[in-house]
Amino acid sequence: MNTRNTKQKEIILSALQQMHNHPSILELYEQVREFDSSIGQATVYRNVSKLVEEGLILKIPTNDGVDHYDGNCMNHYHFMCQKCHKLYDLYDDSFVPFLKKVGKGRNFKVDRVHLLLEGICHECE
């Protein structure tokens, strides 16, 4: 990988980690352009895909047809409001016993869970 690609990837990762609103790829691209206006849309798309593959960021597929991204790879879940489409982080360990039970006796181990809960947020209620 050349130095320019590495620098661009670092800028994209840094921008996402500073955003706490689970941006779409277009929102992330707009933020990245504030850091470095020379980075093109195709570069952002390509590097975001690489960052997801490398496990450095999370891709959050949603039912509204727009994927969102999260620079926080700690174990957590998401809630999406069906009215405003805002995503919220949920930190709750109550699923851990369920996940252990699912894998036990089935010859597999659950390493990561992508859970998206949907409903109406407190602001829209």
Note the pLDDT tens digit of each residue in 27-41.
999 999 999 999 999
Q: What pLDDT sits at residue 103? A: 74
Closest CA to 49 of 73, 80, 25, 33: 25
> What fold does the segment set 77-119 form as a domain?
Dna Ligase; domain 1 (3.30.1490)
> What fold does the segment set 3-70 form as a domain?
Arc Repressor Mutant, subunit A (1.10.10)
Note the pLDDT tens digit of each residue in 61-102.
998 889 999 999 888 999 999 999 999 999 988 877 877 787
Q: How confident is the model at residue 108 (pLDDT cuts 50, 70, 90)?
A: confident
| Sequence spans of domains, the chain | 3-70, 77-119
Q: What pLDDT sits at residue 24? A: 96
Q: Residue 69 is inside which H or E element, if any?
A: strand 68-70
Asked if domains 3-70 and 77-119 share a fold, the reply is no
Closest CA to 44 of 56, 55, 31, 29: 29
Return d(Cα 95, Cα 89) in angstroms, integer: 15
Indicate the pTM of the whole model: 0.84
